[in-house]
Amino acid sequence: DYELCEEWGHLYPVPREDLISFHREHLLHLLEVGEMQKALQLLQRIEDPGICLAISEQALDQHPNLAASHFLAEYLTGHFYANLTTARCNEIQALYIGSKVLLTLPELSRVNYVHLSSRPLLMLEQLLMNMKVDWVAVAVQTLHQLLAGQEIGFTVEDIDNLLSKYAEKALNFPFTLKEKRS
């Protein structure tokens, strides 16, 4: 049905908003079923970069599944970085990095942290509070790799400060140890 509608759009004039809406729904459908290559081909077939940007942004704003969000964030930063405001770029890059960190977690546990996908530093803090030390190690390694040379609202130093804060809290004993008397 989507292909038929796309052909129809080539033969007859379709209002811009309807075209964006149609392509957005087609894109989301492809991403939901895991057809990333076909989704990329769809975006490449759209000749007007303004329409392509609108479709990608609107699709991302509908909060699709993790893989789709990751794909859209990567596509937007890769193709439309110069067309986005600094705040929007930071938001999309944070979502990209957060989704990348989520993908490092065990699959069954991702659902507990997916709501933090656009806030990777908060996700890291939540993992620390839940005492998921092994997951934190992998997440920190991933964050260090992804943050190299990028500015998205937080830095490697912010991660290190967060880790130091929780390490200090882990060593803080609220009571004194009593000596045994012989």
State the SS3 of 105-164: CCHHHHHHCHHHCCCHHHHHHHHHHCCCHHHHHHHHHHHHHHHCCCCCCCCHHHHHHHHH
Per-residue pLDDT of the chain (182 residues; tens, 9 = 90+): 777 777 777 788 888 898 888 889 999 999 999 899 999 988 998 888 898 999 999 999 888 888 898 899 989 988 888 888 888 888 888 888 888 889 888 888 888 888 888 888 899 899 988 888 888 888 888 888 888 766 667 778 888 888 888 888 777 666 666 666 65
Q: Is the pTM of this model over 0.85?
A: no
